[in-house]
Chains A and B, each alone.
Chain A
């Protein structure tokens, strides 16, 4: 039986998804459920003077109305700064102010409109710059008193700074004194949305003996258990969280949000089942989005292009609450250089409160934002040094022995090979050094390049587990806590087992829904870590299967376990492959011809705990935050019309060091998807706020996404430098396709238009404004 690693395997759940059979959270029948809907704040910052629910609660069919006073709790992933329902103050337009539970959704909505809230508007801040001013209004006057879940998150009392991480390496002054060319640039990216096609949805019920059952569209079911437990002082064992298929997540379904509301609503109706599904508008304005970023960058290089020093200052606009953003500010600091060796380095990464919708992880965990800034600056510096942009990047690519920003010694195993990615990209693009080629009087063809890297920043004690059982036909069941959010993670895991046990992948069944009571904990389905963490757990479980089968085989054949071979769903003695026992006859224990039983049913397990990670040293940022990096090089080719600033995206290409190709098409498609999202985000997506601080683009009519016909040709190629501690040497790839794309598009457009592109999104109108110096009158 040949290996399944490196084969194109269709997703295990493919037929469920083309037949309408795949069930997502809100596909569960609604009979027997009460319906909850949310009243949200129209103000970005205001004191709640009073809430009058008397009229609304008299409406026939209304069962309960909950406000922030009912459950005065605070929640948060790292820092408990967020009341699930606003209490006394609202901090963004769209924030929940009350929840109504009613017999039907229509009644709930009607009642929502009958609640009377009196607000006293407060001064609001809409940029990190404003938020840092001395006289800026404080969003969280009690910042110093909030409970810190992770101790390395250190909010600055009496300021709008939720956290800060910094990197200091080498000697900055000396570094810059050696530079021949220095550039200084500022960049600004507005927030935007994950826009998973499935809006967030949740169901909750509580049994009479206090057992809580939650069904939710979440990437992090085990975190839902933990946060509900800590927020409401419930024993974790009383909470069961179920996650069926998830209709896209991209980081946006990792935070615990609606689950709190549904739980509180459910308590208020004595545990009766409650359904809460938000509208698209609420999914955008109320639920967390992608953060905004402002950056100030200074980089210097010698005349041969070698970078000598850099300073980076990043201001993350986390919106009204911090959620996971402090760790994005950490991840950005740790990876601030991109895959380059910069010996003298200083980076300050601040996470700042504003009165925008709060933000959370988004595909790439902040990397696509800072990479836009750094790679735009690299491009300008290459030009100033008179160098080819690819050669400039190759000159500075990080190599074994170099120190990463957090002072980890780079090896091929932990960093991969960015130089080789660039080399391969050159071939793929037929690169001749010309960034711009004229087509006619108005139109030019332009290519932009960018590199990417990313390591994960999980908690230092993240876990994963897996259990393997068998069916009576000898087929295998794989049980993990990995959520199927679209990345095909479970299919990859099945491939790993098939390879290890030398069995047909068709005989491997996976449990696609996650139930926190039944499936062993998997930290979260985030950070592209399924292959690494769950993969390691699954490989251990597969080894356990082998050991159990070999022990039984040895007993049956009266030989040593080492003489036993397992392949093709059969157990046999190595030298006698034609005398075998089929899995179906051995996985539940073996019966000899005279009826004696041998062995016992095979139930195998494997678990994994991250090891060797450490917190960062506060002053230097030295420390190991993730197991390894994934590096890559990307390019975007556009056709730009200089007369009207319109452009067509012709091609997007990625060469990524994936460690080992597990499923070529599956992996390519995940990277295509990342590129597509990056092009959509950087070419058009934006959270536009109006003068009153309300979201102007809270639906798909106004918030534009890429449609079919607007997509370029996508190309992906792989480099395989194994990560030695990962199954088969494979690296994380699920997020990475997006990371360098906004920068590559920006670089292409800057080359084509001569506009010093420093902001997103790159709409023709924005380009025109930048060129003509016309600012928005708003």
Chain B
């Protein structure tokens, strides 16, 4: 990886757009997405990798944006909830199954679920749980989220 020092200008590929940002090497991707690009769908919940509210996709796989340095994201494809477009099967399913209450954890869950549905459409319930255990929801009972995800996976 390139060595970064001081304020540096980087280019990030976010939601299929190349965008420039001036960052410190220690800035995390989450803050840059939110504060410089106005993409506030990814949320801080702990900034410690424990809750998943900040989940985005990096090259199609879920990553916690609070644990990724912005400079580390250079050269990777970043997808945030805003980049999903609004009508992916998992977004429709979340509405259909009321898979949220306050909605704060929702973007993070959607990103994990979207990646799961894309990468492992045949996942069984066990595999689904393993994927989703990276995230926490305090409002729902998880039963609603489980139903929503099951509806977009092929074999459950």
Contacts and interface: CB of A to CB of B under 8 A. Distances in A.
A binds B: yes
A666 B144 CA distance: 11
Given A18-B110, A705-B136, A708-B129, A197 B47 contact: no
Interface residues of B, number: 51
Interface stretch (A22-30, A59-67, A79-87): A22-30
Interface string B77-116: 0001110101000010011001011111111001000000
B103 A714 contact: no
B35 A197 contact: no
Given A198-B45, A709-B142, 20 more contacts: A15-B86, A16-B103, A17-B106, A18-B94, A19-B41, A19-B84, A27-B34, A197-B136, A198-B104, A248-B101, A249-B102, A280-B47, A669-B144, A700-B48, A700-B51, A708-B129, A708-B142, A709-B132, A711-B142, A711-B146
B50 A247 contact: no
A716 to B, nearest CB: 10
B156 interface: no
B96 to A, nearest CB: 8
A629 B135 CA distance: 36
B124 to A, nearest CB: 13
A30 B35 contact: yes
Contacts of A743: none
Nearest to B148: A18
A279 B47 contact: yes
B47 to A, nearest CB: 7
A676 interface: yes
B148 to A, nearest CB: 10
B40 interface: yes
Contacts of B8: none
A17 B103 contact: yes
A547 B95 CA distance: 36
A27 B38 CA distance: 8
A699 B48 contact: yes
Nearest to A488: B101
A141 B32 CA distance: 48
Interface string A236-250: 000000000111111
A552 to B, nearest CB: 38
Contact of B140 (A195, A279, A669, A709): A669
A163 to B, nearest CB: 30
Interface residues of A, number: 57
Contact of A700 (B34, B104, B136, B140): B136
Contact of A707 (B34, B110, B133): B133
Nearest to A196: B138
Interface stretch (A6-14, A432-440, A575-583): A6-14
Contacts of A196: 102, 104, 138
Contacts of B145: 708
A714 B140 CA distance: 11
Contacts of B102: 196-198, 245-249, 485-486
Nearest to A28: B40
B62 interface: no
Contact of A673 (B81, B104, B141): B141
Contact of A19 (B45, B86, B140, B142): B86
Contacts of A22: 103
The 3 closest A-B pairs by CB, nearest first: A20-B41, A247-B104, A486-B102
Nearest to B80: A20
A676 B142 contact: yes
Q: Which of A199, A245, A675, A709 has the most CB of B within 10 A?
A: A709
Interface string B56-94: 000000000000000000000000111010100001001
A676 B95 contact: no
A14 B95 contact: yes
Contacts of A487: 101
Contact of B101 (A26, A673, A700): A673
Contacts of A106: 24
A420 interface: no
Interface of B: 24, 34-35, 38-48, 50-51, 53, 80-82, 84, 86, 91, 94-95, 98, 100-107, 110, 129-130, 132-133, 135-146
Nearest to A671: B141
A677 interface: yes
Given A197-B102, A198-B102, A199-B45, A19 B40 contact: no
Interface in A449-502: 485-488
Contacts of A706: 142
Q: Which of A19, A23, A246, A699 has the most CB of B within 10 A?
A: A19
A26 B44 CA distance: 9
A147 B94 CA distance: 49
Contact of A672 (B84, B86, B130, B144): B144
A610 B53 CA distance: 39
Contacts of B91: 18-19
A486 B101 contact: yes
Given A15-B86, A677-B138, A699-B48, A23 B103 contact: no
9 contacts: A30-B35, A199-B45, A248-B102, A250-B138, A486-B139, A669-B98, A669-B141, A672-B144, A706-B142
Contacts of A10: 95, 98
B51 A197 contact: yes
Nearest to A30: B35
Contacts of B142: 676, 706-709, 711
B40 A23 contact: yes
Given A197-B51, A699-B48, A705-B136, A247 B100 contact: no
A111 interface: no
A19 B146 CA distance: 19
Nearest to B126: A709
Contacts of B40: 20, 23-24, 27
Nearest to B27: A106
A670 interface: yes
B43 A709 contact: no
A248 B141 contact: no
A246 B101 CA distance: 10
A563 B84 CA distance: 52
Nearest to B24: A106
Contacts of A763: none
Given A15-B86, A708-B142, A20 B98 contact: no
A293 B113 CA distance: 40
B82 A199 contact: no
Nearest to B144: A669
A14 B144 CA distance: 14
B146 A708 contact: yes
B141 A247 contact: no
A566 to B, nearest CB: 31
A335 B91 CA distance: 42
B138 A669 contact: no
B149 to A, nearest CB: 9
A446 B40 CA distance: 45
Interface string A14-56: 1111111111101101100000000000000000000000000
Interface string A707-726: 11101011000000000000
A701 interface: yes
A486 B142 CA distance: 15
Nearest to A652: B141
Contacts of B84: 19
Contacts of A486: 100-103, 139
Contacts of B50: 699-701
Q: Which of B44, B135, B142 has the most CB of A within 10 A?
A: B142
Contacts of B143: 672, 711, 713-714
A519 interface: no
A16 B106 CA distance: 11
Nearest to B110: A18
A665 interface: yes
Contacts of B132: 708-709
Given A699-B48, A700-B51, A18 B141 contact: no
